[in-house]
A and B are shown apart, each in its own frame.
Chain A
Amino acid sequence: MKYRLEFCDVISKDNMGGGSSIFTKQELDDYQELTYFTKKEIHHVYKRFKSLAPNPEAVTKATKLSRDELYALPEIKVNPFKDRIVRVFSSSGDDSMTFEDFLDMMSVFCDHAPLAIKIEYAFRIYDFDEDDSLGREDLRKLIDRLTGEMKLGESDMEQLIQAVIEESDLDNDDGLSFAEFEHKMTKNPEFVTSFRIRM
């Protein structure tokens, strides 16, 4: 995953130019072409972004929301993977998001985003140790986060991890590579309905 962020970094380094709080036509066109939103939805997303800032009036497109401010969004607040989501979508890698990052995130989670991009980001979110594969430790953390306060017993956890790996690991490397994850999720009808935030 770090590969992609590296080269994308090179390009996006000097794109933090300031701007007014409303969009220029070029920006709006760009956003509409590059995300899965319409213009109205983009404005709606911007409104929600503004509502998270401590000082909504002073919000520009260059404003960065810190992690704690982002956690105030209701859908993220109750999400057990909130730290991973914020980390994955933060283009500067430090858990803070500009409006474009926020728009990107909402675009991936929206109804119209294709399955492929959702699977790609889901893989990154679930990959806790960022080693490009969902190993046993990743799965353990994932299951722990899912069950919340009640934890599965150790033998249950082992049984579950073993079952997941048996179901999806095809090349016997004790973990799920992206190809295997993609292969499983394209067949999983629950994934598309659950990996979605409506705006």
Chain B
Amino acid sequence: MVLTNSQMEYILHLFLEEVNTHPNRRKGAATSKVNAFIALLPSKQPIDRQMSRRSTTAKKRAIARNNKIHPSKKDPEMEELEEQGIDVSNLEDEEDVHRVMNAIKQLPCPLAAKRRFRAKLLQKEIKQSSGCCGGSNTNRQNWRKFKIWKKEMSYKLEPWGSWLKNVEGHQGTGVVSYFVFLRWLFFLNLVIFILMLLFVTIPYVAFSNNGYTYVVTGSGVSGMSVASEQTCSPLYQVNVSSDAKTLIQDFLQGSGWMEKTAMFYGFYDSQDLNSFVAGHYSLPLAYLLTSLVILLFSLITMARYTMQSFRENLEDQNEKHQYCNRVFGGWDFALSEEGTAVLKHRSLYKDLAGELAEQRHHEARKNMSSNDKCRLYTIRFFINFMVICILGGSGYLIYWVTDWVTSFLADPNYKTNNDAIVVLLVEFLPSLTITALNGIVPLIFGIVVKAENYTPEFTIKITLIRTVFLRLASLAVLIATIYRIVSCTDKETTCNVGQNACDSLRCWETYVGQNFFKLIVLDFLVKVGVTLGYELPRKILTTKCDAAICKKIGLAEFDIPKNVLDIVYTQTLCWLGFFYAPLIPALATISMFVLFYLKYLSAMYNTNPPEIPYKASKSNNFFMIVLMIAFFLCCLPVGYTMVKLTPSYGCGPFRIYSYMTVCVDATISNFPSWLQTIIGIFTSGSFIIILLVLLSLIIYYTSSKSGARAKMIVMLKEQMIMEGKDKQFLLNRIYELTGEKPGAKKKDNKRPPSNGPRNGPPPSAVKTVNEVHQNGNVSKDNDIEELWA
């Protein structure tokens, strides 16, 4: 001990004096000296808590000193405001008033009191700001009014707002996050559709001239060949039958009359459109640029959405939060129905009990014998191997089916030799395979993962990751198969159509578009089917039949991860397909629109909320990341098509070019030469390299800054812990001195923790006490007076 008893007595005496004169002394509090002393601690002051960010102790002391020097008769309200730390002494212009108003808004005070404060403030004579600042003040006020108006508008116009509230009351915030995500994707698709419509479809439909002879820009550029296109385009014929059954079949498959519509790539032409508005409107350039803009727009909106949620989710990876988060953030305040509340209680109970049991299990698991560990790891290895085999098998199945179907359809007599239903089935076979695999294999994963004995959280994560992998892999295999079919080398020379071993495709882009079209249609039908065919019967069973087994089956659960992955999958298909079938975003938009109402009905009437509490923000981050990965994977085939693949000679906007990007070259060739030089510089290799180096430097700088900040956080946390221990030590000494017994809840902490080895440099805030400890004895009273003055 370094402070003697007499010194401590003196300190205590000083403080007790202050206790008796402090105006905020709690009435009726225990008169024990130590409790009175504790009530003085800064952390126990209600004032500092709210305004600590805004007013330092020094500032408050300055205000108090000011009041002592000029003891003017002040309103009680103004005094109270000042004690809260809001500086109302120099209110000069409207900006100050506004600042104080904002501070009042944040006070944790009843509304009536805030109104009194505000009324008093408004009564004060505030002179208008003169001179240069007056104008900007009015501007700022107008800006504020505009912001309020904007908020009102967005509140009025928020689509489906009341529906979301209903779902929130019935199912809770986890399910609502799914609907919010669905709504966001709906609007993204709507924008994509409108862009394509405005810049590609409508100009072509409005201004195209029929026939195949016309003028195109930049005819001198290498890679253009108008001649072959004139021979091949008339050869691209599509048989349209008027049979009703075939019409419907064609509608679902995207063949026949559908193939000739604006839905598919083959409809568009490579001419420069002559419109009275814009002069020459080069359709190929418009097509290419619109596609690039759509991809860029999707990327930017996704990045913004992700950054917003990352900013809110500042979780420290090293700390354990699980119990605090569950206990304090567990109850969903938005719930408003009895039945759901009961389910929520049950779910919370299971979650907490399960987590506690898991922790005990974890302790046991750490002490597992090495034999058991070896066995566990072998099991895990085998199961992972099995998962990879399943994925490989699914991939091969998709490849084989697609191949077989394409060769079946390439046979010129297939329609006459087979029944219409068989043809329909065969056309849809690749899509059916993929959808069936997407449905069944995740169930297998769910069963198999139980043997691996992971923690529940990790189990969910790894099952999700495997499912995502399956979906992306199946799409990748489909694309690879199509690529193989399209890039088959045995082609005849006039019109580049496959012959002999290769399938003859006059318009391969439309073929690709048709594949994705079928996938989207089937995806949508399956979703509708599952809702009507699986959830509805269970609901009917639960309500109509009274047997015990019916009760046991119960309502289906609203499986949020599966539903979110479904719409991510739809969006991936949309991104993959929109380049080959420009109106696929319309299909995606309609599908999401219908899905919203379908899932709303399902959430409100047919399903129960999920049993495992759904951590909305963490999972949202995960799904956003999956969406971004899917987006980048979609850019690869589309980009490759634009840059490397030869367009069909007989159809589409790029039929006269040897590569799709040649149209950009053609346009540039018409620019003035100085512009061409500038563009040349910006696209040259050295410029790109410089840009890359700059970006890498910026990334390195920001990552090292964030590393430094993380270290700072660790250090500050240690300081906070040390301060707590110091306070505890001092309190114990005081208890010793006054002879009072500490309350039952205080931990016994006799050993002064600050004398032990320290982890870092002593922070300046506790310098006074620590220096005292480390310097050994302090014998003079003067030092103490200095310490506490």
A interface residues with partner B (beta carbon < 8 Å): 1-5, 7-8, 10-12, 15-16, 30-36, 38-41, 74-75, 77-81, 89, 91, 98, 100-101, 103-104, 107, 109, 112, 114, 116-117, 120-122, 124, 126, 132, 135-136, 139, 142-143, 146-150, 152, 156, 159-160, 163-164, 167-168, 170-175, 177-179, 181, 184-198
Contact = CB atoms under 8 A, between A and B. Distances in A.
Given A3-B26, A132-B46, A172-B728, 10 more contacts: A8-B110, A15-B113, A30-B118, A34-B118, A79-B333, A148-B348, A148-B349, A167-B323, A170-B724, A179-B49
Interface stretch (B12-20, B165-173, B758-766): B165-173
Contact of A2 (B26, B112, B359): B26
A103 B114 CA distance: 12
A160 B327 contact: yes
Interface in B474-501: none
Contacts of A187: 314-316, 319, 321
Across chains A and B, which 3 residue pairs bring their CB atoms closest together, nearest first?
A: A171-B724, A148-B345, A190-B329
B754 interface: no
Contacts of A81: 331
Nearest to A39: B152
A141 B566 CA distance: 41
B304 interface: no
Contact of A160 (B177, B323, B617): B323
B109 to A, nearest CB: 5
Contact of A177 (B24, B43, B164, B169): B43
A34 B111 contact: yes
B721 interface: yes
B113 A8 contact: yes
B345 A149 contact: yes
A194 B117 contact: no
A11 B80 contact: yes
A174 to B, nearest CB: 5
A148 B342 contact: yes
6 contacts: A40-B156, A103-B111, A171-B43, A172-B724, A179-B43, A194-B332
Contacts of B370: none
A7 B80 contact: yes
A12 B110 contact: yes
A100 B111 contact: yes
Interface string B84-126: 0000000000000000010011101111111111110000000
B345 A190 contact: no
A188 B324 contact: yes
A44 to B, nearest CB: 9
B25 to A, nearest CB: 10
A12 B120 CA distance: 13
Nearest to B77: A11
B781 interface: no
Given A74-B336, A160-B352, A15 B152 contact: no
Contacts of A31: 111
A91 B329 contact: no
B739 interface: no
Given A146-B331, A189-B617, A4 B324 contact: no
Contacts of B156: 40
Nearest to B150: A38
Given A10-B76, A38-B155, A195-B333, A150 B346 contact: yes
A171 B38 CA distance: 14
Nearest to A198: B165
A195 B439 CA distance: 36
B110 A194 contact: no
B741 interface: no
B77, B324, B353, B723: most-surrounded residue (chain A CB, <10 A): B324
B111 A135 contact: no
Nearest to A38: B152
B26 A193 contact: no
Contacts of A89: 110
A194 B537 CA distance: 32
Interface in B271-325: 312-316, 319-321, 323-325
Interface in B340-380: 340-342, 345-346, 348-349, 352-353, 356, 359
B148, B330, B723, B746: most-surrounded residue (chain A CB, <10 A): B330
Contact of B333 (A3, A75, A101): A75
A3 B24 contact: yes
Nearest to B325: A188
A179 to B, nearest CB: 6
A190 B327 contact: no
B65 interface: no
B616 A193 contact: yes
Nearest to A142: B327
B352 to A, nearest CB: 6
B618 A1 contact: no
Given A149-B345, A170-B724, A171-B727, A191 B313 contact: no
Contacts of B340: 78
A35 B111 CA distance: 8
Given A38-B148, A79-B331, A171 B105 contact: no
A147 B324 contact: no
Contact of B321 (A132, A148, A167, A193): A167
B615 interface: yes
A11 to B, nearest CB: 5
